[in-house]
């Protein structure tokens, strides 16, 4: 069984490396895959979306996620197992919720805040090392969920609310979910939301962000437009996204999470 890691630890410090070392100490036979340590610091929703969208590509295993602005408070730490046989370990702040839903929903939840697997003394700031990594290592090595902590009603778990697209007359009103390292902005709409919008592959799109109007093309590939031109496209997670060919749409258009982006045929 493998363990995957997704955190906001970055690569300047040794936080991620220490988590690897702890897992190797507790369960030497377990393989660890770094999904990413580049989630923007404290951006729980971005982490939750990244974990959800990565899920179809991850071997069944123990998926650790740590984006944890409330570390050191009374926020709960949890381990979850789902209908698909996947396990999730992390803070109970919604970070795990979207992925757990996609994995069939939580069947068993355990409060691991005072897990017998934790490394004492537990620090106030580094639960990745002291709590999440050792619990995940034990679960990956075959330890029972029930031995990781105390039972918890799955209905009590924190969730995350995502914005949703809507139609306003002839306009599809969408919102930015997140922007990636290239400045491409993923929207809260997918192909299925386009029914009735009049937006058609290969046709120009009128994009309105704040008071600004931009021309884009709804296309399947960056290569269909000139460098510097804007496109609306289905991204690799099958969500609608806004980008500039060889440019940075987030910087150019001032796109950030929750920015409203209004789309209609041009």
Closest approach of a copy of itself to the CB of residue 250, in Å: 12
* Binds a copy of itself by CB under 8 A, chosen from 206, 222, 247, 252: 222
Among 44, 48, 50, 110, binds a copy of itself (CB under 8 A): 50
Stretch that binds a copy of itself, among 71-79, 80-88, 185-193, 201-209 (CB under 8 A): 71-79
44 touches 160 (CB < 8 A): yes
Please state, in angstroms and rounded to a whole number, the distance separating the CA atoms of residues 232 and 211.
Answer: 19
CB of 154 to a copy of itself, least distance (A): 25
Cβ atoms of 153 and 117 within 8 Å: the answer is no
Applying CB under 8 A, which of residues 233, 242, 263, 264 lies at the interface with a copy of itself? 233
- Tell me: does residue 113 bind a copy of itself (CB under 8 A): no
By CB under 8 A, tell whether 86 contacts a copy of itself.
no
Where does this chain touch a copy of itself (CB under 8 A) — which range of 6-14, 96-104, 165-173, 252-260? 6-14
What does the buried/exposed string (b/e) look like for 116-147 if buried means 16 or more CB atoms within 10 Å of the residue's CB? ebbbeebeeebbbbbbbbbbbbbbbbebebee
End-to-end CA distance of the chain: 51
Q: Which residue in 43, 54, 163, 204 binds a copy of itself (CB under 8 A)?
A: 54
Residue 15 in contact with residue 9, Cβ under 8 Å?
yes
Place of tokens 């994995």: 103
Residue 102 interacting with a copy of itself (CB under 8 A) = no
Contact (CB, 8 A) for 204 and 215: yes
CA–CA separation, 89 and 77 (whole Å): 8
Give the interface with a copy of itself as residue ranges (CB under 8 A).
2, 4, 6, 10-14, 16-18, 20-22, 24-25, 28, 31, 33-38, 41-42, 50, 54, 57-59, 69-73, 123-126, 129-130, 180-182, 220-223, 233-236, 238, 246
């Amino acid at each position: 069984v493998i363990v995957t890691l997704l955190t906001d630890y970055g690569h300047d410090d040794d936080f991620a490396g220490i988590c690897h070392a702890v897992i190797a100490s507790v369960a030497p036979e377990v393989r660890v895959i770094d999904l990413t340590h580049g989630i923007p610091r404290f951006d729980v929703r971005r982490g939750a979306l990244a974990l959800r969208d990565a899920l179809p590509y991850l071997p069944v295993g123990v998926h650790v996620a740590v984006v944890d602005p409330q570390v050191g408070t009374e926020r709960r730490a949890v381990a979850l197992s789902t209908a698909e046989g996947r396990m999730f370990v992390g803070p109970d702040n919604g970070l795990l919720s979207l992925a757990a839903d996609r994995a069939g929903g939580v069947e068993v939840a355990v409060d691991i805040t005072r897990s017998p697997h934790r490394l004492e003394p537990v620090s106030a700031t580094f639960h990745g090392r002291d709590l999440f990594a050792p619990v995940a290592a034990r679960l990956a090595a075959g330890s029972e969920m029930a031995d990781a902590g105390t039972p918890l009603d799955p209905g009590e778990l924190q969730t995350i609310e995502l914005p949703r697209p809507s139609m306003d007359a002839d306009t599809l009103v969408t919102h930015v979910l997140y922007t990636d390292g290239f400045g491409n902005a993923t929207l809260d709409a997918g192909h299925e939301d386009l029914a009735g919008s009049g937006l058609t592959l290969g046709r120009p799109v009128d994009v309105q962000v704040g008071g600004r109007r931009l021309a884009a093309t709804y296309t399947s590939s960056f290569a269909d437009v000139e460098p510097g031109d804007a496109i609306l496209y289905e991204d690799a997670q099958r969500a609608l996204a806004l980008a500039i060919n060889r440019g940075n749409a987030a910087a150019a258009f001032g796109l950030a999470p929750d920015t409203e982006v209004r789309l209609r045929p041009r």
